[in-house]
Amino acid sequence: MRNKLSTSNARQLALKILLEIDRKNSYTDVALNRALNQSNLSSSDRSLCTELVYGIIRHQRTLDSLIDQLGKKRRNNNPQT
């Protein structure tokens, strides 16, 4: 059970870091290092968090484009909304 909880914590921390990068225009490496240094995550969870943050930043344009396309499809399928 501990493993699932810590993985969840790694994902929550990644989300927190991504929000800081987006809202405060922080540098990715600075926000990531600060958050990881303040966390008590295991080394494997720190690696997961790092991969999530850098992976999402690396593919942000693609992800944004896909989200936009899905949003348009939903609006077209639901004209009442």
Distances 60 to 9, 24, 68 between C-alpha atoms, Å:
22, 17, 12
* pLDDT at residue 6, rounded to an integer: 64
Q: What is the pLDDT of residue 36?
A: 97
pLDDT tens series, the chain, 81 aa: 455 556 689 999 999 999 999 999 999 999 999 999 999 999 999 999 999 999 999 999 999 999 999 988 777 777 665
- DSSP codes of every residue in 4-41: HHHHHHHHHHHHHHHHHHHHH---HHHHHHHHHHH---
Answering whether pTM is above 0.75, one says yes
